[in-house]
Amino acid sequence: MRSHKERIRYSRQIMLPQMGEAAQEKLTAARVMVVGMGGLGCPAALYLAAAGIGELHLVDGDEVELSNLQRQVLYKTNHLHKPKVQVAAQQLQAANPGIRIHTHMAMADEGWLLERLAGFDLVLDCTDNMSIRHAINRTCRARGVPVIMASVQGFSGQLVSFDFRRAGSPCYACVFPEAEREPAGNCQTSGVIGPALGVVGSVQALEAIKLLVGLPLGSLDTLQVFEAERLEWRSLGLGKQRCAECGKESAASSPDLRRHGTTAG
């Protein structure tokens, strides 16, 4: 650790037997990109900043709107019409001045991501756009960068992670083929309950911390489905189905997996 203050700040996670100072040093050295600073990105980024992730890159092209305030907990009424990444960076820096935060006011398409992903340890997909989700999937796979993907619609959420550092890893398109997907709703068209985003976004940050320090992930190659109405989590293994881009002929997703291929933030 670099200072006595840092030891105090992170003491409660350092004392955990699964963590320790070596794990904290890994977090301090980590570079993480959070794509989408909405209802998922806000809690995920806040917990990552608090945990001491050394360098956070926040990506979003939107400004704060009044309808965001029901669920996007980093923003307040006085932030209306300001860029989300700018406000989020200020809030996160105030929470932890010891980390580095970079802002990108952009909608992350495939070309943008390919130019910038080199050197990152992890990407969090917190978007509400299926096209961007598949672009993140393709570019992370191409660059060998792990990705943790989450979404919530209504009272239902999902979480899945892929470690593209491993040979033979499946990807998001293995479960939800891009060419076959049906148009998905989002929070603007279908609605979403705010605390469900908080739960799933927090779990996304938890899985991120575990991946960065080398702990096993419950969401690795496994779709974790959260039903907020029943307070129920279910795990759906991805099996051996692979898309053509992962080197095998794509198999049809099960009806249960397709039903949860939704996005919202």
Beta-bridged to residue 233, according to DSSP, are: 226
Cβ distance 144 to 165 under 8 Å?
yes
* DSSP designation for 63: B
Residue 236, SS3 per DSSP: strand
What CA–CA distance (Å, rounded) separates 13 from 46?
16
191 φψ region: left (φ > 0), alpha (ψ -120 to 50), beta (else): left
Q: Among the residues of the chain, which ranges form H helices?
A: 4-9, 11-14, 20-29, 41-51, 84-95, 110-116, 130-143, 172-175, 187-190, 194-213, 255-259
How far apart, in Å, do the first and last CA atoms of the chain sit? 35
Catalytic residue among 42, 140, 174, 187: 187
Tell me the CA distances in angstroms from 35 to 7, 103, 122, one per residue in order. 30, 11, 11
With CA atoms as reference, report the closest residue to 201 among 90, 75, 38: 38
Active site residue 243: no
Beta-bridged to residue 32, according to DSSP, are: 56, 122
CA atoms within 13 A on the CB side of 144: 6
* Active site residue ranges: 187
